[in-house]
Amino acid sequence: MKAKTSIIFGIHPVSEALRSGKPIDKILLKQGFRNDVIPGLLPSLREQNIPFQYVPLEKLNRMTVKNHQGIIALISEIEYTELEKLVPMLFEQGKTPTVVILDGITDVRNMGAIARSAECAGFHAMVIPSKGSAQINSDAIKTSAGALNSLPVCRVNDLPDTVRFLHESGFQIVAATEKAADTIYQSDLKQPTAIIMGAEDTGIDARLLKMADQLVRIPMSGSIQSLNVSAAATVVFFELVRQRGTGEQE
């Protein structure tokens, strides 16, 4: 059964939701929607890392029979965390920060399963792009066994900029890719680390691969030679736990 999505519609309700900082996953705008109807709308969406999309009027009409005035906001199931505020706080607390970056993960169950493994492995955050990512809905939260309610999720506009920020903050960048020469067991994951996991069909964006300090792969001996991305993430995450010699991240 498909999860029901909570929505806010209409110019004034959506404007108030944005003003008050209500967590929003996406804004849907009627094709031809005039940007001056809500002054400063698009800059505000970009500032808050809220994706928006122009869609046919019929799509909005299917979502509600009430007067939506050409704008619908999809309400998030979680509160997002600002990565730029979280990272300094983790270092100030004396932790060795570990985050996972998801590039192009569009399946909600994969996202939920990755979040569950990350939380179990003691990760400090999960980073997702504002566009080209699965929506964190009730299906994702259910698959995560509730981990998405406790693991900080950081939504960002630009993954290369985010990777650059993490690198400058003292993180090493590790990309999990079948193109790597070294295996995950040859890596060094004891320092602050950001692990990039990519979509099963397209992999990790070439720009991110070039920015990585380490490229690692999971050795395979079977005939299929591939894992579901959430299963692969679990293998990588718990190699990090093994290397640090603890079941709890410090």
**Per-residue pLDDT tens digits for 130-154:** 888 988 888 899 999 999 999 999 9
Which helix or strand (DSSP H or E) is residue 172 part of?
Answer: strand 172-176
Establish how many alpha carbons lie within 13 A of residue 174's alpha carbon, considering only the half-sphere containing its beta carbon. Answer: 28
- Name the β-bridge partners of 7: 74
Q: Could you tell me if 98 and 13 lie in one domain?
A: no
CA pair distance 84, 89, nearest whole angstrom: 9
Range of the domain at 155: 83-244
Q: What percent of the chain has pLDDT over 70?
A: 96
Helices 83-92 and 159-168: crossing angle in degrees, nearest 10, is 20
- In this model, does residue 124 exceed pLDDT 50? yes
pLDDT surpasses 50 at 162: yes
On the CB side of 200, CA atoms within 13 Å amount to 13
Boundary of a domain, candidates 16, 46, 75: 75
For residue 22, what are its two tokens? 């209500």
**What are the tens digits of pLDDT across the range 177-218?**
998 999 999 999 999 999 999 998 889 999 999 999 999 999
pLDDT of residue 247: 52
Q: Average pLDDT in the 76-100 region?
A: 95
* Cα 199 to Cα 205: distance, rounded to the nearest angstrom: 9
134 is a domain residue: yes
Q: Is pLDDT at 249 greater than 60 in this prediction?
A: no
The per-residue pLDDT for 175 is 97
Per the CB < 8 A criterion, the answer to whether 9 and 71 are in contact is yes
The Cα–Cα gap between 194 and 60 comes to: 38
Which CATH number belongs to the domain containing residue 215 in this structure?
3.40.1280.10
Asked if residue 161 and residue 137 are part of one domain, the reply reads: yes
Share of the chain above pLDDT 90, in %: 73
The tally of domains found in the chain comes to 2
Mean pLDDT for all residues in the chain: 91
Do the bridges between strand 214-217 and strand 7-9 make them parallel or antiparallel, or are there none, so unpaired?
unpaired
Confidence of residue 3 (pLDDT cuts 50, 70, 90): very low
